Amino acid sequence: MMLFRSACNSDLDVIHQLAEFSGIGITTLPKNKELLKKRIKWSCASFKKKVTKPAHEYYLFVLEDQKTNKIIGTSAIESRTGHESPFYSYKVSKRTRVCHSLNIRTDYEVLSLVNDNQGKTEICTLFLSPDYRKNDNGLLLSKGRFIFMAHNRERFAPTVIAEMRGISDENGQSPFWENVGINFFHMPFAEADRLTLATNKQFIADLMPRNPVYVKLLSAAAQEVIGQPHQSTIPAMNILLKEGFRYNNYIDIFDGGPTIEAPLDDINTIRLSRNMVIKSLSDEVSGDTFLLANTQLDFRATINYALFNEQDNSCIISKTTAQLLNVTCGDSLRIAPIRSSQ
C-alpha cells in the first residue's frame, strides 16, 4: 500500500536523493540540500498556519511505499505565485500583417515577457522514481494534492496552474534556451534554472529582453519545442489534462515548456470528491477502489477499497486503511474517484 502524506523534516535526505535523480528542468525541486531544507521548513509552517485566504504558503508531499518504508516520489502546491518575487512567463501571441497592394499576408507568433500568471495557485515539484511508475502511483502522487485542496479551498486561489518541464536532452541542453535565453544570460541552462530558486529572480528582470521575441527568427529546433513537454513529463501532463487542465498559451521562459491551467472548482478530483463519515471498520473491504484521505492538516491519502452509503453519507473502510490514514469511526473521510469514469 502507498501512503501520500505531508513531508516532514526527517524526509530531507531522501527528498534530496530524488532531486539529484530528477535531472535538469524541475526548478522547484532543487538539488541544493540547504534550499530543500528551507522548503520543507516552509511547508511544515504552512500546514500549521491558520489560513483564510492564500498568501505565501507551500505544501510539500511525499509518496511512501509502506512495504519498504521508502519514499519514492514528491509533489507540492504553492498557494499563490509571485508573492515575494515576480512570476515570469512568455505569452505566445499571434499577430498578422497584410499588404493589400502586394496581396501578401503574414501570420506569425511573438513571445512577450509577462507576469500574467502571478497570484494563481501552482502545483509543482512532481517527481516519481522510475521504478515505481506503475500501479496508479503517479495518479496518487498527482491527485493527492487535489483531494487536499478539495477540503481546504480557502487556502488556494480560484485558478490553478502547472508549469510543465520543457524539452532538454540527457545533458541538460535545451533547444529553446540555446536560441533565446543564453543570448541574454550568458550562462548554461542548468545554472539559470538553479538561480531561479536560489535568488529573488531579479536577474531575470535585469537581463531578459523587454521587446517581444519573434518566433520565426528562432531556429527550427527552438520553434519545435515551444509549448512541448519533456518526454518524462508527458504522463504527468496527461493526468492533468484529464483533470480538466488546458494549455493557456504561456510557456516557461527558460525551456519553453507549456503552462496549463484550470479553475479550482472545475478540477475533476475536486469537483467529484465527497466528504463522508466513517460508519465502521472492517477486517476486509472489497469492491471499487477510490482515492481516500483524512481531513486533517497532518494530511494522509491512499488508494484503497471503500463502501459507501449515499443516503446517510457514510462509508466503510478496512482497519488497515484507517490505521494508515490515522482515522477511526466517526471521523470524516474525503473520497474521490481515481478516474473520472468511476
Return the C-alpha cell found at 176: 529553446
Distances (CA, A) of 272 to 61, 151, 269: 22, 12, 5
Give the single-character DSSP code of 133.
Answer: -
> Which of 64, 73, 9, 62 is closest to 36 using CA atoms?
9
Q: Give the SS3 label for residue 321.
A: helix
How would you write 164-220 as a 3-class SS string? CCECCCCCCCCHHHHHCCHHHHCCCHHHHHHHHHHCCCHHHHHHCCCCCEEHHHCCH
For 235, phi and psi rounded to 5 degrees? -60, -40
**Rounded Cα distance, 82 and 80, in Å:** 7
Kindly name the residue from 56, 83, 186, 230 that is annotated as catalytic. 230
230 is catalytic: yes
**Rounded Cα distance, 308 and 8, in Å:** 32
- Give the helix, strand, coil percentages of the chain, each rounded to 5: 35, 30, 35
The residues annotated as belonging to the active site are: 230
